[in-house]
């Protein structure tokens, strides 16, 4: 069974997730921890739970979701994995920060470059990399079919969706991505990049951007 710990971090209130199972291996998803205090809190949780991070994943390449990946790399020796279409975004994180008035000093060290429908594994669980372009060209949703859990990044929020007016964004593409996501079972729990947890069923009933 998966255990999901949420850390809401940085000035943009981004959700970083530590996802573990009974083996004590874990995945760190969207580590946007900006302040050293946030990074230390995440590391303290990993230590207190006796976890071994084996995956460092990014749903997309925006800076607010990857501020802390170098700190995790230094602590655990794992580099961030991102979709091939967002690799250039990660490498341009300092420019992204400039757009929003934030200082981003380091370019992340990129590890595995993912493709749509790849799978990644930790412990006894597998996450499928569902394609979800629109917010960025290489957006991914990490879906654990066995546990009916999805990490949606900035594609799907509770009763909303990610913005499409940033470079590489596309309303047409994000709507297509949402139509794909809404084919998942209604009881799938969705952990978004910002804001509260939701479910596919709730979003189908209440999100104006979703339909079957």
pLDDT digits (tens, 9 = 90+) for 181-201: 999 999 999 999 999 999 999
Whole-angstrom distance, CA of residue 62 vs CA of residue 85: 12
Give the HSE-up count for residue 15: Cα atoms under 13 Å, Cβ half-sphere: 20
Whole-angstrom distance, CA of residue 48 vs CA of residue 5: 13
pLDDT score of 103: 86
Sign of the alpha-carbon dihedral angle for 41, 43, 49, 54: positive
Whole-angstrom distance, CA of residue 2 vs CA of residue 156: 21
Largest CA distance in the chain: 44
- First-to-last alpha carbon distance for the chain, in angstroms, is 29
> How many residues does this entry show for the chain?
212
Considering only CA atoms, give the Rg of the chain: 16
Chunked into runs of 10 residues, the chain (212 residues) has average pLDDT values of 97 98 98 97 98 98 97 97 95 90 88 96 98 98 98 98 95 96 96 98 94 62
Give the position of tokens 């479910």.
199
Give the position of tokens 């995790």.
72
Whole-angstrom distance, CA of residue 78 vs CA of residue 56: 6
DSSP, collapsed to helix, strand or coil, labels residue 51 as coil
> C-alpha angle with apex 196: 99 to 102, nearest 5 degrees?
15
DSSP, collapsed to helix, strand or coil, labels residue 166 as coil
pLDDT score of 212: 55
pLDDT score of 107: 86
| Spatial contact of 156 and 178, defined as CB atoms under 8 Å apart | yes
Sign of the alpha-carbon dihedral angle for 22, 28, 30, 31: positive
- Is the pTM for the entire model greater than 0.75? yes
């Amino acid at each position: 069974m998966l255990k999901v710990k949420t850390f809401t971090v940085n000035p943009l209130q981004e959700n970083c997730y530590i996802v573990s199972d009974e083996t004590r291996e874990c995945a760190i998803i969207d580590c946007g921890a900006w302040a050293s205090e946030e990074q230390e809190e995440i590391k303290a949780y990993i230590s207190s739970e006796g976890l071994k991070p084996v995956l460092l994943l990014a749903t997309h390449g925006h800076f607010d979701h990857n501020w802390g990946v170098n700190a995790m790399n230094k602590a655990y020796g794992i580099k961030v994995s991102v979709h091939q279409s967002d690799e250039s975004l990660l490498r341009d994180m300092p420019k992204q920060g400039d757009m929003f008035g934030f200082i981003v000093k380091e370019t992340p060290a990129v590890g595995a470059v993912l493709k749509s429908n790849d799978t990644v594994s930790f412990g006894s669980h597998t996450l499928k990399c569902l394609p979800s372009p629109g917010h960025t060209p290489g957006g991914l949703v990490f879906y654990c079919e066995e546990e009916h859990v999805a990490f949606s990044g900035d594609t799907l929020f509770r009763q909303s969706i990610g913005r499409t007016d940033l470079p590489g964004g596309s309303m047409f593409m994000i709507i297509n991505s949402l139509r794909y996501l809404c084919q998942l079972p209604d009881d799938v729990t969705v952990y978004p990049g910002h804001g509260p947890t939701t479910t596919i069923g709730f979003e189908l009933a209440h999100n104006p951007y979703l339909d079957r």
